[in-house]
Amino acid sequence: MRRFLLSAILAACCCFGAEAGEITSTYTDLDTGRDCTTFAMNAEEGQFANMVCNGYRGYPVIIYSADLRESVFYGFPPAGDLAPTWESFAAFNSTGPKVEWRIEENGDLRIPFATIHRWSVSNPEDPDRQVEVLVVAKVGQIAERDGCVVGLVMATGNTKANETARRIADEQARGFACGADERVLVGGELSVPEFQRQEN
């Protein structure tokens, strides 16, 4: 029975997107002191900490932090890979306390395919000033385990940032090829801060 249920879930994930369903948003809290477990840490040389956190209905959020910067993977990472590709802003940064999950509903299935997460980033021209950017990411599914940043939307000075981020998530995330496709960048009064992807 368990094998049948697992097969059904995997089949549903593999076929995800074949028939478009209703898209909705769900929000989850991200409190690293309450919702996360540290699985690797070095408080001295390098000062890094890796944490796995509660996400949406079993989909984890994995945070890798080092040198006052964070890289976040949403969903299931590649099997056996405890350190997915590092993706982060070049400037000092930190993630916000709430994650928006874009959910596709097909009958009883509710599959999160993208996240929208507000980050605070140091302004390279004025380190004491923070700007906010909405990071749109593809969620790693249990079968494909492929997730990455799809788009960056400057939130500071942009009244339509949330609307724009949702449109990018809905139109780009599901078919986005990580490491091959080019991220969508949407500025406003300010340009999007430099963002880096470091291949393993």
Q: Which domain holds residue 164?
A: 2-30+90-198
Q: What is the pLDDT along the chain (200 residues), one digit of tens a residue?
A: 434 333 433 444 444 444 568 999 999 999 999 999 999 888 666 588 999 999 999 999 999 999 999 999 999 998 765 567 999 999 999 999 999 999 999 999 999 999 999 999 998 777 788 999 999 999 999 999 999 999 999 999 999 999 999 999 999 999 999 999 999 999 988 899 999 999 76
CA 64 to chain centre: 12
Any domain includes 37: no
**Nearest CA among 2, 103, 14 for reference residue 59:** 103
Cα(8)–Cα(135) distance, rounded to whole angstroms?
32
pTM: 0.87
Any domain includes 179: yes
Any domain includes 50: no
Any domain includes 44: no
Number of H helices, E strands in the chain: 3, 12
Cα(125)–Cα(57) distance, rounded to whole angstroms?
40
Any domain includes 55: no
Q: Which CA distances in Å does 105 have to 54, 97, 135, 151, 177?
A: 21, 25, 23, 23, 22
Any domain includes 57: no
Radius of gyration of the chain from its Cα atoms, rounded to whole angstroms: 17
Any domain includes 64: no
Number of domains in the chain: 1
Cα(137)–Cα(150) distance, rounded to whole angstroms?
5
Any domain includes 40: no
